[in-house]
Amino acid sequence: MRKKGMLLAAFFLFLSAGLLIRAERGFPRKERGQDQLETPRFCAQRVGFEKKVQNPKDSLGSPNGLYAEILPGGELVVFMENKIYPLANFDSGSVVSKGETDYGPEGWFQMQDTQGKQQHFWMRLAGGHSPGGFRLAGIEPFEGSAGIDMIRIANAGTQSLFVDAVIGYSRIAERRQ
């Protein structure tokens, strides 16, 4: 009986030592895939337009747990700190949000038509590899690309959408890979 008690105590000691080591190192997190950039990143810095949005400035800067609430039928346009460019095999940026609703970020693109005339238009950004991520789809990355610095988030759903931050990833990180 005494041996069983000693074995049981040793077993629990072994388990608790394992938990202490894990707590010291931190619990395992999902590793970043190749489709997610570690750094550098930049955020939206100012609101350009708002319609049916409460606390729009809470969507600016790094994620901080404060949310702009975009009501159904509302939209929020933000200007980024830097331009967002297409990144080969990576998300170009992400929207940190909560809420189940129908939305898709759009970028304000400037293109030249065949006659050399400048055209501006909103274009929906393709879904990214990570949650909330987006890509500049159909645009090959090239040196001197104009990029975009204005993002629009329109809530086409029936419930509020809460946006904490809009993040862009730098091309410098792509070159390091």
pLDDT value for 5: 54
* Size (the chain), residues: 177
pLDDT band at 137, cuts 50/70/90?
A: low
* Between 65 and 116, residue with greater pLDDT: 65
- % the chain with pLDDT above 70: 68
Cis peptide before 40 (omega within 30 of 0): yes
Q: List strand residue ranges (DSSP E) for the chain, in order.
A: 41-54, 68-84, 93-98, 103-112, 118-124, 126-127, 133-135, 148-155, 161-169
The listed range with the strongest mean pLDDT (62-71, 97-106, 168-177) is 62-71
For each of the domains in the chain, give its residue range(s) and CATH number, in order of start: 41-176 (2.60.120)
Q: Cα–Cα distance between 41 and 169 in angstroms, integer?
A: 4
Whether the pTM exceeds 0.75: the reply is: no
Q: Cα–Cα distance between 10 and 31 in angstroms, integer?
A: 33
